Chains A and B, each alone.
Chain A
Amino acid sequence: MVKTMFSKGKIVAKTGNEIMAEAMRQIAPDVVAAYPITPATEIVQIFSQFVADGKVPTEFVAVESEHSAMSATISASVAGARAMTGTSSQGFALMWEMLYIAAGLRLPIVMAEVNRALSAPINIHGDQSDTMGARDAGWIQIYSENSQEAYDNMIQAVRIAEAAKLPAMVTTDGFIISHCMEVAEVYPDADVKEFVGEYKPERALLDYKRPFTLGAIDLQDYYFEHRYQLAQAMRDSKKIILDVADEFKKKFGREYGFYEKYEMDDAEIAIVAIGSAAGTTKSVIDNLRTKGIKAGLIKIRVYRPFPAEEIAKDLANVKAVAILDRADSCSASFAPVYLDVVSALYANCGDKAPKAENYIYGLGGREIALNHIEEVFMKLDAIAKGTKKASTQVEYINVRIK
């Protein structure tokens, strides 16, 4: 049950898409350039209605493709505008080239992204293959478990992106969150406006009296430094993310960090998950706890920058951990989140790292149910007790293999 945390907050029922559009209305960016795609279409649709009704001062550019959506968002940002967009899956894939450019040019663009499977086969349902593939693009990635988080993350993302000079995407799981009506607390326009603040770029293309060139070619003598600076900006953004979360908590009452810890204080076994599967996992944990099984969850909110040291520290004392990935890397090795978590554990805990397993689940919107999560915990429990060995290869949940 969602309770108001902010004195002037209001409880509403909104889908993930509705609430992301609502956040965009309150942020009121100068430019939005977007192209519709299931399941993110509504965000753009609702927002264009705000424009049509004069509720935002935004110039809405109804581009002819997602490649142009990101191109125009990038150039609007360079021009000196606060610029946003939204997309999903194939549209996100079509933006790919421009994602790297947005980051490389250090533009504080915010994108609402609804996680959906990638073709082929074509599938419109939720998994995280799209944004996981762009994990090295230089974008801050913030995942949301529900409507409330999607809303709060959008508001924070603007501040984070502009302070870090990095683009940021806020995601929800396709259909599961994007189309699910949930109760959430929204804040008054004025308070959001105050929190987000005015966008004051250091330089703007439209400031023609101070002309500059952006997008020049770097040869062997400069490219590496610029890419290093981008990587460093991502490292530096960790502090910014925590500072913004801190300010957000002071203002609106909700607490956010890199990840949420659920029953981790004395946990002996744990799951690491991202997005809507966390809710299911929490339910299972509540049940297992009544049976005396010390299960816990780390729900990653900020995947880029990856909070490696922090996660390693919080997992150091569990005996076994399962990392759940809603994307497959097709690498014959492991999936993305596992690779990050286990690298962090190896670097920080060495021999003392807990046993770790990797499970791929939910591709193309395939259901992940309580019993699936419970089975994973039961396996972890056996590993922790030494009656079973941790799998050395990736495991799959709820898929017909033969």
Chain B
Amino acid sequence: MANLKELSKHAERLTGGHRLCAGCGAGAVARQTLIAAGDMPVVVVSATGCLEVSTSVFPYTSWKTPFFHSAFENSAATCSGIEAAYKSLKKQGKIKDEEIRFIAFGGDGGTYDIGLQSLSGAMERGHRMLYVCYNNEAYMNTGIQRSSATPKGASASTSPVGKVIQGKEQPKKDLTAIMVAHNIPYVAQSTIGNWNDYITKVQKALNTDGPTFINVMTPCRLGWGCKPEDSMEMVRIAVDTGIWPVYEVVDGVYKMTMKPRGGEKKPVTEFFKLQTRFKHLLKPENAELVASIQADVDAKWNKILALCGEK
């Protein structure tokens, strides 16, 4: 487990003053990732999205480490090109024997959807890199459109609640399972509200020789419709309700790294009632829909428990 006292010794590499919203989780993801890296030299790339536009408004930058962005769907390919350059230049003696780590960020839009091919390719090719998906369950940067990470029943601007449709009709894609299926050495799910779990996982990933992937649930107070000061608590409730199981898969072996607080899993409505994107689900006429979502969550939860040898 990470130690706060130890972590505080390293210089910050994401400065304050960036333009992310109050209560946004994406800035915390970037900052905690760099804190986890300690003094290790890192090169960071990002997909187009909130994190990227808000931290690099020319001529300013929040990044005190090399940072590169080129497009939306290619964060993993971009990271792989830098890693290839590193290998080549090192092999030729053009750069000295320094260990550099490579980190790619993408939101759920840039990772689950438009960037999935690029991610899959980079993972299959075995580049030593950490890909972090800061997953806030919709395309927040363009105005809260649904993504394949948007949960069933959530209202988004392209899966709105209407007279005949009650938000997104499809359940979210299990991207973490897809990454596990790539047989890469390290895959994990975490939340940014559980700093120690997340930082520990980043450290493990950075120390892994090969491609690694972390899917970190990250609140968007604007898209989720919650108070800025409550956003970190939101993702902890996602863990408590089993909506977002927190686990890691090391060389194919699953391990649950956090349990719901209090031991027992809470009903999904505990997560829904604090966010306006789920407001409609609490109406009596949507009880059946909520029951079906609860059944989905229970089934996935039991599956993960079984994979983790907890059942």
Interface residues of A (CB under 8 A from B): 30-31, 33, 57-59, 61-65, 67-68, 71-81, 83, 97-98, 101, 105, 205-208, 211-219, 222
Contact = CB atoms under 8 A, between A and B. Distances in A.
A206 B95 contact: yes
A96 to B, nearest CB: 11
A30 B81 CA distance: 11
A75 to B, nearest CB: 3
B63 A213 contact: yes
B64 interface: yes
Contact of A67 (B56, B61, B65, B74): B74
Mostly helix, strand, loop or mixed at chain B's interface?
A: mixed
Interface string B95-128: 1001010000000000000000110111011000
A104 to B, nearest CB: 9
Nearest to B61: A213
Given A58-B88, A222-B59, A211 B81 contact: no
Contact of A76 (B73, B85, B125): B85
Contacts of A31: 81, 84-85, 88
Which of A57, A71, A77 gathers most chain B CB within 10 Å? A71
A272 B309 CA distance: 74
Interface in B8-66: 41-43, 45, 52-53, 56-61, 63-66
6 contacts: A30-B94, A65-B121, A83-B85, A105-B70, A212-B66, A215-B67
A81 B89 contact: yes
Given A33-B84, A75-B78, A80-B89, A67 B70 contact: no
A222 B124 CA distance: 39
Contact of B70 (A101, A206, A208): A101
A21 B232 CA distance: 54
Contacts of A76: 81-82, 84-85, 88
A101 B71 contact: yes
A67 B73 contact: yes
Contact of B58 (A67, A68, A73, A217): A217
Contacts of A105: 70
B92 interface: yes
Contacts of A80: 85, 89, 95
A57 B94 CA distance: 11
Category for how many chain B residues contact A: 35 or more
Complex A-B, nearest 9 residue pairs according to Cβ-Cβ distance, in ascending order: A72-B81, A64-B121, A75-B81, A215-B69, A79-B85, A68-B77, A59-B88, A81-B85, A213-B61
Contact of B65 (A59, A101, A208, A216): A208
A218 to B, nearest CB: 5
Contact of B84 (A59, A207, A214, A218): A59
A101 B42 CA distance: 23
A78 B74 CA distance: 15
B36 to A, nearest CB: 17
A217 B41 CA distance: 24
B121 A205 contact: no
A35 B58 CA distance: 33
A216 B58 contact: yes
B58 A72 contact: no
B91 to A, nearest CB: 6
Given A72-B77, A98-B71, A211 B58 contact: no
Contacts of B69: 214-216
A193 B45 CA distance: 32
A217 B78 contact: no
Contacts of A75: 45, 68, 70, 77-82, 85
Nearest to A32: B84
A61 B74 CA distance: 14
A78 B125 contact: no
A208 B43 contact: yes
Interface string B237-263: 000000000000000000000000000
A71 B85 contact: no
A59 B94 CA distance: 13
B94 to A, nearest CB: 8
A71 B82 contact: no
B86 interface: yes
